[in-house]
Amino acid sequence: MAPPAPPEVPEAELEAQGWTRSADRSETVFEGLGVTVESRTLVYEDAELRRAVVEAGGPDRIWRFLFVSRLGITPSLAFGAKAAVRPQVLREAKQSFAEELHDRGIERIGTGETERVELAGDRHARLTPYRGTITAETNGSGNGDEGGNGSRDGEGDGNGNGNGSRDGTRNGNGSGDEDQGGSKNSGAGAETEVGIVGRLALWYDDGFFVAGCAGPSGAIDGWADPEGGGEELSALIRTVT
């Protein structure tokens, strides 16, 4: 069976903001009980922010990422079935996103309340906020790109792309977008904690889609001071829906 077509993403607009595509993958998310769920996921990283941190003497790693997944379900859902399937897709997406965040080195992951938000064209999405922290060495050695690609969004996405969430609370402490960063100066190899915020969205548009993103909630230890935080991520989600 052919994988789903890639989700439509305004790449020119993302590139103008410093983003580059880092992955394009297809995978079978679920197979059983006569149903097969496949996903096609595009993953992006904020290359401009990464470069700015390195040029300022900080660690070379992916600080902000975005993924968008289209889910293909075979056989096709019967009319009206999407409402019954949506909760399961959202649950799986949250679990996958939490795993993705953890794989990218994000700790103390917490989630906020999922809410229904409006999208263009009279559509709606379920949006869940996340927060956590990343620990980075201040000598610029960094953690690399442990994150892989972000989508797993289970959300129907279930594609193990990295958006899912594991309930967001692998370490579960709440949600909120407040900055959790701080410094740990312990002699050689001093470390700093950078607050992270994230967003996971699930919507239906002739098929289920999942999008997730995460990045610093404020300044990155003096190396860079990206704007927007959670609000910018919410706007980014709307850009790709």
Nearest Cα to Cα of residue 199 among 100, 84, 108: 100
The whole-number pLDDT of residue 83 equals: 87
Q: Is residue 5 included in any domain, yes or no?
A: no
* Residue matched to tokens 């967003």: 199
Q: Is residue 180 included in any domain, yes or no?
A: yes
| Structural domain count of the chain | 1
Give the per-residue SS3 of 98-151.
HHHHHHCCEEEEEECCCEEEEEHHHEEEEEEEEEEEEEEECCCCCCECCCCCCE
* pTM above threshold 0.85: no
Q: Is residue 1 included in any domain, yes or no?
A: no
The answer to which of 87-96, 136-145, 152-161, 209-218 has the lowest mean pLDDT is 152-161
Backbone angles phi, psi at 17, to 5 degrees: -95, 5
Q: Residue 150's pLDDT band (boundaries 50, 70, 90)? A: very low
Q: Is residue 3 included in any domain, yes or no?
A: no
213 residue type, one letter: C
The whole-number pLDDT of residue 170 equals: 40
CA distances from 8 to 70, 96, 103, 133 (A): 9, 22, 26, 31
Under DSSP, the state recorded for 167 is G
Which structural domain, as residue segments, surrounds residue 157? 11-240
Q: How far apart are CA 236 and CA 20, in angstroms?
A: 14
| Span 126-140, average pLDDT | 87
The whole-number pLDDT of residue 78 equals: 83
When the pLDDT of each residue in the chain is averaged and rounded to a whole number, the result is 81
Q: Give the pLDDT confidence of 214-233 residue by residue, as tens digits.
A: 999 999 988 999 876 788 88
